[in-house]
Structure formats: structure tokens, C-alpha cells
Amino acid sequence: MSSQRCPSYYNATIKQETHYPSLAGELSTDVVVIGGGLTGVAAALELAEKGYKVVLLEANKIAWGATGRNGGQVTGSLSGDQAMTQQLRKKIGSEAEDFVWNMRWRGHDIIKQRVEKYQIDCDLKFGHIQTAYQASHMHELTAMYDEAHRRGMGEQLTLVPKDEVPNYLGTTLYHGGLLNRRNMHLHSVNLCIGEARAAEQLGVQLFEHSAVVDIKDGAAATVYTANGKVTANAVLIAGNAYHKLARPQLRGMLFPASLGNCATVPLSEAQVEAINPHDLAVYDCRFVLDYYRLTADKRLMFGGGTNYSGREPKHVAKELGASIARTFPTLKGIDIEFAWAGMAGIVLNRIPQLGKVSPHVYYCQGYSGHGVATSHIMAEIVAKAIDGELSEFELFAGMHHWRIPMNEWVGNQALALGMMYYQLRERLR
């Protein structure tokens, strides 16, 4: 892959491009963070706020990987919530349900507070609707609505019956939906760059085009790049699906799935009013879903068609153009100005993975398509662990994860077959 930014809408609308140097020579610090996406940058900022000296090493550009290629949605749909709750019951008993529920919204609060504190211009907007692609999906949405009411969040949600969907979306595709006014959407690259600049102001040293080639752990940890090295008391690997570090320990735990995304030319006021008058972010309830929203300049950003084989799609604009036409027939044939793909880190049980590969080396990965919010939650937990507050970190580090003891290609094919099974089961319900 090229080390330059991909041809996405996000990268065409960066508020202030980054120009950090490449690492050369030797440094010593408290913590080295490997990866300049949302996880790494958020963790570096958390640690800097706690007073730590931090060096961040990015192989390409800040926000180059999945951070710069996603749908920009911040929602309470936490990946692996049921599996997480089941495992947590064995550790914390009846508190498990409350822990998972609160985690659904924790990323929202971190992002909102950070945007306000550091005045980050990232087109942050509120409002989201999860839609029922099949009539049976309404049972799931009704259960979510009922739980929100039980937990005092009812005023922020509205259950939308099928006949009221046209009030929100100009499509006949859905059988209803759940409107959530707490959920958000934003420009993820400008968020990440804004957090990186805040970290820099607090003393974090950031380096781009500084791929890590080796990590050695001993009395302290040393991280090596082609032209330099950094010694530290702690190292965080935060590259998600875009790194090959610590393979003996991490092999078979995480698999890359390709996500396609696109942005149309700007829509007219009439087109906006016809398809999405309330400026909502949207995704449906399927296992392999569509997700879309309006950008700040009123383009339709539309993603979907997740490829679990690990291969990048070859015809993103063509494939997503067909999905746009199916969803909004009035936009059939609309010009797509930007089209791109990215790799999400998929975990078999969907529970985010936190842990240590050696005494001084931590890892944080695996958000299974919900990374904008979850990255900030996990970054906060791992930063607290480095600072000595281990309770939440140990909960996640102690989670059982399935490991496929084969090469990545075989693992991806197994994952693809599994998703075919779930898609078939979904069609039959």
C-alpha cells in the first residue's frame, strides 16, 4: 500500500495537514505508542494529560488507516455486547449488564468532552437512526428502546414505525427504525488530527513515516524503526489491522475485513430534503449492513458491502452506486466523487482485545466495525493501566478469545464462511 493518504472525502477536506518528521536517532521516554490512528492518538493524549512523556510512531500519516476510511458514526451499538456480558457475569456478577450498558455511551462522552476542551473542528453532529431491513428486526429495536427507557434514557430515543420512516428518510426500504439523539457523526480524520495536535501541545513527540520493525523487551522496552530507536517503560501496539507486530502472541486473533465507502457530489437542498431532512446518520440491522450520512457540505457518504475474505473491493464506486440507487431511487446515477476502501479489525467474538504480549508491551485492537467510539474507550482503559489503574484492563485482558491457529488467509476464509452462515440465517428469520 502507498504511504500517502487514500483518495477519500475525509482526506480531501482535512482542516490542517500533518507534517511530522520521521524518527532518526535515539530517544528515551516513558511510553511509546505505535500507531497514529484514533486508538494510538487518543491513548497518547490520555497519557500526556496524566503527565507522561510519550513518543508516538506512525508508519504512514496520522489517521492513515481505518481512522481515515470509516463511516464517521459514533453509536451505542457496541460490538460483542452479548458475549462480553456473558463473560463479565463470571467476573463481576450482576454488575455486568450495567458495565456493558455504560460502555455503550462512554466513547460518546470522551469524544464530546475532548472536542469541546481542545476546540477540535470535526463537523460533530447529533442524531442517528438504526433501521429495520426486515420486519423481524423491529423486535431487536423494540428491545433496545425498552432497555433505554428502563435505564432513564427514553427521552433520547424514538421508536419509528414503518409508516413514519418517510418522515426521516426518503426510502421505502425499511420496516421501521430506532431514532437516537445521543448518537453522533463526525469527520474522523479531523478529529484524530485535532487530538494529535492537542497531544503535541502537551509534549507528545509525534513521528510519521516511522514504521516499527522490531520490539525488544527486557529491563525496559526498546522499539526500533529503520532509522532510529526509542527506549521506554511501556509500549502500546495500536495498529489494529494494519500491523504485523508481535505475531507469535497475536497471530490468529484478529482478521482484516475490507470496508468500502464513497461520497457523492454535493446534493441540492431539494435532494437533501427528500432523502435525509433531519441530517441523521443511518445504518441497518443486518450482519453485513449499509451505513450512510450527510457530510458537512451535503454529500451523501455511503458505505457497505463488507468483504470478510480480507481482499479489498475492486469496484467500490460501482458497487456502492448500486446500493445508493436501491436505497434512494431518486439518486440513481448520481456522480460519486470519492471512493475508497479500508481494513477493519474483526474479532471472532467481537469483544475488543486488550492485553500484554510481554511485561512492558501492551496491545489494543479489534473493534469489529465500531471503532470511532470504541477506540476512545479502550485507549482510556489502557492508559489507566499504564498509570497503574488495572481493574478495567484486567477485565478485558482476561476475556476468552477464539484463536484460529492458521495463517491469516485461512482465517479470513473461515470468517467469510461463518458470515455467510449468519447472513443465510438472517434471511430465514
**Averaged pLDDT of the chain:** 92
Contact assessment for residue 367 and residue 375, using Cβ atoms and an 8 Å cutoff: yes
* Helices 96-118 + 188-201 axis angle, to 10: 70
Q: What is residue 402's predicted lDDT score, i.e. its pLDDT?
A: 85
Q: Which residue has the higher pLDDT, 171 or 428?
A: 171
Mean pLDDT across 51-65 = 98
Strand order in the sheet with 234-237: 205-207, 54-57, 31-34, 234-237, 361-365, 353-358
**What pLDDT score does 255 carry?**
86
What are 171-218's pLDDT values in tens digits?
A: 999 999 999 999 999 999 999 999 999 999 999 999 999 999 999 999
* 101 and 148 Cβ atoms separated by less than 8 Å: no
Residue 33 has pLDDT above 80, yes or no: yes
Confidence of residue 367 (pLDDT cuts 50, 70, 90): very high
Candidates 264, 238, 215; CA nearest to 64 is: 238
* Backbone φ, ψ for residue 161 (5° rounding): -75, 165
- Is residue 366 predicted with pLDDT exceeding 60? yes
The span from the CA of 209 to the CA of 31, in Å, is 19
CB 32 within 8 A of CB 52: no
pLDDT (0 to 100) of residue 1: 47
Residues 340-356: pLDDT tens digits? 999 888 888 999 999 99
Helix and strand tally (H, E) in the chain? 12, 19
- Is-above-0.75 flag for pTM? yes
Separation of alpha carbons 11 and 337, rounded Å = 13
* pLDDT at 426 (0 to 100): 45
Amino acid identity, position 216: K
Residue 308 has pLDDT above 70, yes or no: no
**Amino acid (one-letter) located at 285:** C
pLDDT (mean) for 295-321:
85
Cα 90 to chain centroid, rounded: 27
**Above 60 in pLDDT, residue 139?**
yes
> Which residues is 26 bridged to in the sheet?
229
Q: What integer is the mean pLDDT of 407-418?
A: 53
Instruction: Give the pLDDT band of residue 422 (cuts 50, 70, 90).
Output: very low
pLDDT at position 421 is 42
Extended beta strands in 186-244, E state: 205-207, 212-217, 221-225, 228-232, 234-237
Cell of 280: 441523521
Q: Classify burial at 259, counting beta carbons within 10 Å of its beta carbon; exposed 0-12, middle 13-18, buried 19 or more.
A: buried
Kindly tell me if the per-residue pLDDT of 102 is higher than 90.
yes
Residue 343 near residue 76, CB atoms below 8 Å? no
Residue 403, pLDDT score:
81
Q: What is the pLDDT of residue 405?
A: 66
- pLDDT at position 251: 87
- Examine the pLDDT at 423 and tell me if it is beyond 50: no
Q: What is the pLDDT of residue 408?
A: 56
The proportion of the chain whose per-residue pLDDT surpasses 70, expressed as a percent, equals 92
- Asked if the model's pLDDT at residue 413 lies above 60, the reply is no
Q: What is the DSSP string of 155-190?
A: GGEEEEEGGGGGGT-S-S--SEEEEEEEEEE--HHH
